[in-house]
Amino acid sequence: MNKLKTNLFSALRAIGKFLLSVLKHPKGRLGVILVGIVVVAAIFAPYLTPYELDDYDIANGLAKPSAEHLLGTDKNGIDILTQILYGARISLIIGITTGLCVTLLGATLGIVSAYFGKVSAAVILNIINVLLVIPTTPLMMIMSNLSSSYLMMIAIFTLIGWCGTARMVRAQVLSIMNMNYIRAAELSGGSKTYIMFRHIMPSVSHLLIMNCALSCAGFMIAEAGLSFIGLGDPSVMSWGKILVAAQESAFTSGLWAWVLAPGAAIFITVFGFMQIGYALEEILNPKMKRKRVKHRKKSASPALDAETVFASMTEMSVEDAQALKAEFEAGGTNA
């Protein structure tokens, strides 16, 4: 019991430390703030605005931005800001769920295809080949005839979108598969499933976490696009849908806020997720860390600089060797 407690405690502390390192990273901080704003807007939408999505007020339709309606109203007099706040919900739900599903499915199939024998590899690679050739947008358009619910959209995105992640994971797994620690684990009798979860998963996890954040962003754009061409869930408000209505009536009446605001909302969310993704990449990628360490070592021990070695080999002063190197790095000699 006590052991479990300490384990739990240390796990929590590790997670906390990780989250803190994201917040400390400048890109991560920016991303967390942007996404945080959108999440707050989505959760507290009913409290942030005095209007509802069905507050018809046709007499006050197509109103310009004012103190009552910060971004104006649409054809039916519904407040645009309210629509944007509620639209954040579906965007976040679809983006995050699809991102997670795609990453999980892609990671599992990617590892299985690399590590579990030739048959599974052949099957999965062939499926990937087919998926890569099928034009995604048209297939989604045809398949969304199936059902217009947003759950269906998540399912379709996942079914089509996993192959990129799977390919990336497969390449990574293939490159580490013959490393000594995997060999050692095999020799000491670890089962394939055990090795997959205990040794391979952690070594690709940095890729997965980063990929998850980036694919969340990508699927949010895709969702907005699909609902813009009229394939979204008709029962929920989404940013793409606001833009459709804006295209119909905002252009001629010059209601700039109506066109700009939903796009800005999409941009803020997507940009936030991307920044988190880039920050995670820099924090988690062991190669980037190693580079930093190497760099520090090099500058700490100038005795091993190439110029010094070169100077000791030839009869040249260290300064001359450094000048030669600088000249070379600047683009060669004047031959």
Partner 1 sequence: MKGYYLKKVLSSLFVLFIIISLNFFLPRMIFSDPAQPYFAGVPEDAIALREQIREANGFNDPLIVQYFNYLGRILTLDFGESHYYKESVWTVMFSRIPWSMVLTVSSLVFSIIFGILFGAVAGKKRDHAPDKALLALSGVTTAIPSFWLALVCVMLFAFTYKIFPYRGAMTAGYTLSMNGVAFLIAFAVCMAAAITLKLVLKKSVFIFAGIPVSLAAGLLVSVPMADILDVAYHAALPVMIAVFSGVISYALLVRNSMIAVTNEDYILTARAKGLPPRVVLYKHTFRNALLPLITNVGMSMAGLMGGSVLTEKIFSWPGMGQLLLDACNNGDYMLSQAILLLFAVITVVCNFITDLVYHKFDPRVKEV
Where along the sequence are the contacts to partner 1 (CB under 8 A)? 126, 129-130, 133-139, 141-146, 217, 221, 224-225, 228-231, 243, 246-247, 250-252, 254, 256, 259-260, 262-263, 266-267, 270-271, 274-275, 278, 328, 331-335
Residue 254 CB, nearest approach to partner 1 (Å): 7
Residue 29 CB, nearest approach to partner 1 (Å): 15
Residue 98 CB, nearest approach to partner 1 (Å): 16
Residue 83 CB, nearest approach to partner 1 (Å): 15
Q: 104, 205 in Cβ contact below 8 A?
A: no
Residue 145 CB, nearest approach to partner 1 (Å): 5
Nearer CB in complex with partner 1: 20/326: 326
Nearer CB in complex with partner 1: 195/259: 259
Nearer CB in complex with partner 1: 15/146: 146
Nearer CB in complex with partner 1: 109/220: 220
Nearer CB in complex with partner 1: 181/251: 251
Residue 137 CB, nearest approach to partner 1 (Å): 4
Nearer CB in complex with partner 1: 133/187: 133
